[in-house]
Each structure stands twice: as structure tokens, then as C-alpha cells.
Structure 1
């Protein structure tokens, strides 16, 4: 759980840094990086919750 919090904090910091760089430079590449980080983070969160639900569903069977 600590690892998940660290990854989430780094992900938020990375997105924030990309958005700040985009605001300062107006280069579209930084906005693309932020969007890519957001999508990867969303995929990781969905995978984590799917595994959590699967664990809860299979625990009573085993």
C-alpha cells in the first residue's frame, strides 16, 4: 500500500510538472506527456482495483 501511495505521488508530481512546463512554454509536447502519464496512471489504478475485487471474490472460494 505504501508503494501505491509513492507511485501515485510521483505520478501527480509528474503530471503537475508537465502542466506547469506547458503553461510556461506553450509547447504541445508537454501536454501530450501529461496526458500520457494520466492514461498510464488510470490504467494502473484500474488494474489495481480489478485485482482487489478479484481477490475479494475468490477469497471465500479458496
Structure 2
């Protein structure tokens, strides 16, 4: 690769690295939010399931 090609591709490489790290940051924020939502939903679902099963035994 000559110097002209390096001058063209270096900013592109830098952009790709930045885009990837930004995308991963957003991905981790989404997954952490999803984990929080799941942890909030599971106890509610379990409580409803227990109540339904106790009513069906009567």
C-alpha cells in the first residue's frame, strides 16, 4: 500500500473502529435494560402462575 492509499483508508479504519465500539456500547445498554425488565417480570409471572394453579386445585 502506498502513502496515498494509507491516507484514504486510515480515516475509514478509524471510523469503523469507532462505529463498532459505539454500537457495542448501545448493545450493552440494551441488554442491561432487557435484563432489568426480565428480572422485574419474572417474579410477577411466577406469582400469577402460583395463584392460577392454586385456584385450579379447588
TM bucket (normalised to shorter chain) is 0.5 to 0.7
> Partner residue of 1:35?
15
Q: What value does the CA root-mean-square deviation take over the aligned residues? A: 1.3
**How many pairs does the alignment contain?**
37
Q: Which runs of 4+ in 1 moved over 3 A?
A: none
Gaps of 5+ in 1: 1-25
Over alpha carbons, which structure has the higher Rg?
2
* Higher normalized helix content (fraction of residues): 2
TM-score by length of 1: 0.54
Unaligned runs of 5+ in 2: 1-5, 43-58
After TM superposition, the score normalised by the length of structure 2 is: 0.58
